[in-house]
Structure 1
Amino acid sequence: MPPSPMADPTSVVRFAVLGDSLSEGVGDRVDGAWRGWAALLAEGIGGPAQRVEFRNLAVSGAQSQEVAERQAPEAVAFRPDLASVVVGVNDTLRHTFDIARLARRLDRVCADLTASGAVLLTACLPDPGRMLGLPAPLARPLARRQKAVNALVHAVSDRYDAVHLHLADPRWTDDRSLWSADRLHPGERGHRAIAARFHVLLAARGLAHGRPPSPEPEQPPPTRAEAVLWLATAGTGWVARRCHDLLPQLVRLAGSELRHWAGGTAARLDRRAEHALSAALTAVSLDVPVATMGE
């Protein structure tokens, strides 16, 4: 196998970014546009004589289908040395959620990118219900889905030797200074933290040769009034766009949750999710202990 271009101090390093709003940079606005962790990380990948070509293909609201069918082919054609693939939260927020389909799509995307010569970057994420502080009957179904997605991401990351970041860690989710007003996307400080943590992992593999991103924000944090204004305008729009699709099913899921809780059979829902995850992993020849569902 030829040496990686990233080992050549005069090479061009290509970095492709696939995913949704987290990777697009939502929450870190600079000069009227989203910047985000990936752009911050790109600045610290190359050495003094290296040039980094950065292509962010991530789109707010993207699900695994869009990543697999639209973003991945463009990324493969770019022939990146590094490619981040962070996706799945939007799948959990849809009535069409299917862990088996997600497993097939994610495995195929990672296989194609690895075959093209890319080192993968992946991350598991906190469940949106917890971040939004939803009532337990609404939050538990989303948490169950996100735990399954994270278990899948762990398995795929191991298969393709990805540089993996564990963003479901409570030390990350409980630090409110890292999050924007919507409680779902990092603010500038959070995006900088993600970039810095990825930089440490890449540097340990000899894949980052520049200075790590500064953890200190350049922009002042939003005031309380600005946060309230965002929630009343853009935040309301975000909820409205998803309610027509997610809310009816979420209400049904919450009803099922309450019935099982009242009947003392809530554990059945966990076992059902574990069996679905196991079947999805088996279908793509992956093997992860069911205990990973607790991570």
Structure 2
Amino acid sequence: MRRVRFVALGDSLTEGVGDPVGDRWRGWAELLAPGLAPADTPVRFTNLAVSGAQTRDVLERQTPAALALEPDLVSVLIGVNDTLRCTFDIHSVAERLDQVYAAFRARGTVVMTACLPDPGSMLRLPGALARPLARRQRAVNAVVHALSERHGAVHLHAAEEEWLRERAVWSADRLHPGELGHRRLALRFHTVLAEAGIAGGSTPAAEPEFPAPTRSASLLWLATAGTAWVARRCTDLLPQLLTLAASEVRHRAGGTSARLDLSASHAVAAALSALSAAEQPDVA
């Protein structure tokens, strides 16, 4: 009997952080997997996502491992961690994602992608700190949207989903979905895959299997693992984020904030234009 092979690539979101089952993470991709095919068709699911991964990790490590598994379907949700690094460069992000999508499409693999909400709004950072992160995430989302269309990926506009504003769908860290959030994401992906004629199995269950973490458990997580997570990110990002925030304040005071948005838009356009130019054959 033929199996459906589904491989998930990405970072902590796809790894399943926020949806603990015993001593491991489960997450939206594992919840989605059984519904990809009818009950009489086995689904082989492999999760290669790793917490903290960036587009470089997906291109250089996860993609070769996934290609070796010869998947029918692959999910690529990545980019948020790129925006949280001082090395962020939308041109590099675009180049890497283009290579990843192309590698799978060349094998006939169906690619799933999504636009994601920005971390600044999820963490409720002050405006001067949140706006630079939001601008970066909008740039990544614009690239993902354009490249998804170019490569014929099944794309989910998750950044604009209304349910993302519900506190109940998020875990204690406010950055990763809780079980309810992971189930909502699995449901939304199942819907778009079914509409594309790809998901032929039952819809993932909508109701959580486990009770939501208590307030004391959430506070304990934030005081232990959550603090360590913030410390790791701040060591790399904070100096540059403060510089970006200072620029944000200066532009707002001078009434020139629109220049920052315009500059980001130009960078996205240039990155996509460079990819298009690279694909054009040389004319003798």
Alignment map for 1:126-165 (pairs within 5 Å): 126-165=117-156
Q: Does 1:257 align with 2:252?
A: no
- Tell me which residue corresponds to 1:76: 67
Pick from 19, 43, 58: which aligns with 1:67?
Answer: 58
**Which amino acid in 2 is paired with 1:251?**
L
Summarize the alignment of residues 50-199 of structure 1 with structure 2, pairs less than 5 Å apart.
50-199=41-190
Distance in 2, matches of 1:214 and 1:249, equals 42
Measure how far apart 1:205 and its partner are: 2.2
In the alignment, structure 1 residue 22 sits paired with structure 2 residue 13: yes
The equivalent of 1:203 in structure 2 is 194
Distance 1:67 1:111 in 2: 13
Q: Which residue of 1 aligns with 2:3?
A: 12
Quick one: distance in 2 between partners of 1:225 and 1:167?
30
TM-score by length of 1: 0.92
CA distance in 1 between counterparts of 2:120 and 2:265 reads 19
Whether the 8 Å CA contact 1:131–1:173 is kept in 2: the answer is: no
What is the aligned partner in structure 1 of residue 281 from structure 2? none
SS of match in other structure, 2:185: helix
Percent identity, aligned pairs only, is 63
Residue of structure 2 equivalent to 1:4: none
Contact 1:80 1:117 (C-alpha < 8 Å) held by counterparts: no
Aligned partner of 2:146: which letter? A
2:226 matched residue in structure 1: 235
SS in 1 for 2:35: coil
SS at match of 1:180: coil
Between the aligned partners of 2:161 and 2:5, the Cα distance in structure 1 is 32
- Listed as ranges, the gaps of 5+ residues in structure 1 are 1-9, 287-295
CA RMSD of aligned residues (A): 1.1
Give every structure 1 segment of 4 or more consecutive aligned residues whose post-TM-superposition deviation is greater than 4 Å: none
Cα distance, 1:170 vs. partner? Answer: 5.0
Counterpart of 2:122 in structure 1: which amino acid? M
Tell me the distance in 2 between the aligned counterparts of 1:161 and 1:176.
33
- Name the SS for the 2:255 alignment partner: coil
Partner amino acid, structure 2, of 1:11? R
Q: Which residue of 1 aligns with 2:206?
A: 215
Q: Counterparts of 1:202 and 1:256 in 2: how far apart (Å)?
A: 42
Which sits farther off after the overlay, 62-71 or 113-122? 113-122
One-letter amino acid matched to 1:186: P
Letter in 1 for 2:88: F
Give the number of equivalent residue pairs: 277
Superimposed CA distance per residue, residues 180-229 of structure 1 (whole angstroms, 9 cap, x where no aligned partner)? 11111000001011111111111222212221110100010001111111
Letter paired with 1:199: H
Give the direction of change, closer, same or farther, for the CA distance of 1:110–1:270 in structure 2 (3 Å limit): same
**Structure 2: how far apart are the matches of 1:128 and 1:262?**
25
Secondary structure of residue in 1 paired with 2:38: coil
1:172 CA drift (Å): 2.7
- Alignment correspondent of 1:279: 270
CA separation in 2, counterparts of 1:274 and 1:16? Answer: 32
Measure, in 2, the Cα distance between the counterparts of 1:166 and 1:86.
12
Q: Is the 8 A contact 1:99 1:276 kept in 2?
A: yes
Deviation digits for residues 60-96 of structure 1, max 9, x if unmatched? 0000000000000111111110000000000000000
